[in-house]
Amino acid sequence: MKKLVLIGGGGHGKVVLDVMRAQGDYELAGIGDDKYTHSFRQDGILHGPVADMAELLQDDDCRLFIAIGSNRTRRAVMERLGYPESRYAVLIHPRATLGSGVTIGGGSVVMPGAVINHGARIGAQCIINTGAIVEHENALGSFVHISPSAALAGDVTVGDGTHIGLGAKVIEGLTIGSWSTLGAGAVAIDDIPAQCTAVGVPAKPIKFADQPGQLAQRRA
């Protein structure tokens, strides 16, 4: 069994660990989180600051996984660590359903009850959360999060870094731009631009990030 270092010891990390154990392909070697001030071993597993995981990762066969819910933070941590996508595990719960021709990038997790249908392409470092539905021929970029019970109809494109909120729906053929947020319960019936927050039924943008990291209010 391959060893795995998990980065992120919070709530999302605990859920990801459950997926890793259910999948049964990896053995946990370490949990890196900067909440730890020093390293220690518990039940043989190294716990410590992220930098202290380097000793385990010297073993080329050891995989890693960033279990951090924020899309931007996940990207920042991946950039800081500097490992290629191929070093990252893909974690898929055995009670998730994957259709034929589905591709999933390194560092992505598929939670229990999620359905990813024929030909969907999921980028690197994505979260397909509990009970989410990603229909046929969707194209998701990297660092995307599809929240629990959200549903994307067929042929939807989702740009890098976008968060589809709890229970949100997107009708077929739409494009949801990169680094946007579709609020909980929203229903997108038109394309949603990049770098915005859109809410409601039908979903309308309520905020745009005109500068990266800076949200400017602009009522639709």
Ligand X SMILES: CC(=O)SCCNC(=O)CCNC(=O)[C@H](O)C(C)(C)COP(=O)(O)OP(=O)(O)OC[C@H]1O[C@@H](n2cnc3c(N)ncnc32)[C@H](O)[C@@H]1OP(=O)(O)O
Instruction: List the binding residues for acetyl-CoA.
Output: 145
47 is catalytic: no
Sign of the CA dihedral running 75, 26, 21, 43: negative
Radius of gyration of the CA atoms of the chain, in A: 18
Nearer to ligand X, 9 or 30 (CB): 9
Sign of the CA dihedral running 140, 8, 16, 187: negative
Nearer to ligand X, 108 or 129 (CB): 129
Nearer to ligand X, 71 or 147 (CB): 147
Which of these, 14, 18, 17, 53, lies nearest to 32 by C-alpha position? 53
91 vs 108: CA distance, rounded Å: 6
- Alpha helix stretches (DSSP H) within the chain: 11-23, 54-57, 71-81
- Which residues are CB-neighbours of 51 under 8 A, at least 6 positions away? 32
Closest CB 46 distance from ligand X, rounded Å: 27
Closest CB 13 distance from ligand X, rounded Å: 12
Q: From the annotation, which residues make up the binding site for substrate?
A: 69
144 vs 205: CA distance, rounded Å: 18
Q: Which of 12, 47, 136, 163 is catalytic?
A: 136
Q: Quote the longest CA-to-CA distance of the chain.
A: 54
Closest CB 145 distance from ligand X, rounded Å: 7
Positions that interact with ligand X (CB under 6 A): 129, 147-148, 165-166, 181, 183-185, 197, 199-200, 206
9 vs 15: CA distance, rounded Å: 10
Closest CB 24 distance from ligand X, rounded Å: 23
Nearer to ligand X, 4 or 182 (CB): 182
Residues designated catalytic: 136
